[in-house]
Amino acid sequence: MARQGFTLVELLITLIIAAVVGAALLRMVVAQGRFMDQQEASRSARRVSRSGINRLVSDLRAVEASNGLQAAAAGGQDFTVRVPYAFGVVCSHGLPGVGITTVSLLPVDSAMYNAPGFSGFAWRNAAGVYTYPVAVPVIAAGTAANCQNAGPDSIHTLAAAGGAPAGQIVNLTGVALLPTPPRGSLVLLYRRVRYEFKASVAVPGQTGLWRTMVTTGQTEELAAPFAATARVNFFVLNNGTAQAAVPAPLANTRGLELVLNGLSERAPSGSAVAKSAPVTTSVFFENRPD
């Protein structure tokens, strides 16, 4: 009886067809894998930029316009700002040389208020200009009697209501103010925060964004890696275009342009360089005097 089966020629044809189909499927899988790797690298680069923006904007949006920017280095990769975290009004100030200022504060988030890094305070005069004493005062629980007055200018500190946080009274000791701030003058408490683009620890060989509390020296790397072009530019007075040069004087700065060009941590498949995500946004300081 004749046996059923296939010839060697048929086997070779089948193998050739399988090889062609397999090669096509392999190319499709490789192409799809590279595409997904490219997409993931792009998302990684954008994530770096967004991480830097979130923290920078959180700090910079409350910075006072005329003297909020304390220092800036050439190149736009190192700058220090005074970041307000509590606001209030002056209840009283001791005689010149005594240096005790009692302040009634508005309610503020307790975690934000109790975080370390208190660097000083500033008070606002009738012309709308904030004065920043150079010396750092000692901050402690205040004297409530200094805010009470039988006259029409009595200052009432807000109490807790319906679960909302209460205001508080604090004494700022060790700084004699001349001229003496009038009762009811606006006051802000601030922390000095330094931002730098410098060598990353999380991603060796790349650039990271660092945030340092100047008073305590506590530092942290917020995000990495960034391109070498990452920096800040400066909006000066009423100029709508940011400039790269550090303004002179710094008091003319009215906002910052954030150039946060993020990178992926590695080059995706099929590429020789890391993916980049060019991101630029601007933050303008509040309470402009002009």
Other CB atoms within 10 A of residue 222 CB: 16
Which of helix, strand or coil describes residue 244? coil
Q: What's the token pair of residue 82?
A: 């005074």
- In 3D space, the residue among 27, 55, 128, 137 whose CA is nearest the CA of residue 93 turns out to be 137
Over its C-alpha atoms, the chain yields an Rg (Å, rounded) of: 30
DSSP state letter for 215: T
Share of the chain above pLDDT 90, in %: 42
Is the pTM higher than 0.85? The answer reads: no
Residue-level length of the chain: 290
- pLDDT number for residue 122: 92
Least confident of 4-8, 110-114, 122-126, 205-209: 4-8
Q: What is the pLDDT of residues 231-241, one digit of tens each?
A: 999 999 989 89
Bridge partner residues of 89 (DSSP): 104, 186
Do 133 and 154 touch, CB atoms closer than 8 A?
Answer: no
Q: β-strands 118-124, 280-284: how paired?
A: unpaired
Least confident window among 124-128, 154-158, 186-190, 216-220: 154-158
Structure confidence at residue 95 (pLDDT): 63
CA end-to-end span of the chain, whole Å? Answer: 107
Confidence label for 188 from pLDDT (cuts 50, 70 and 90): very high
pLDDT at 136: 87
pLDDT-derived band at 217 (thresholds 50, 70, 90) equals very high
- pLDDT, greater one: 230 or 149: 230
Residue-range domain boundaries for the chain? 41-76+195-284, 80-191
pLDDT the model gives residue 25 = 85
pLDDT > 80? residue 201:
yes
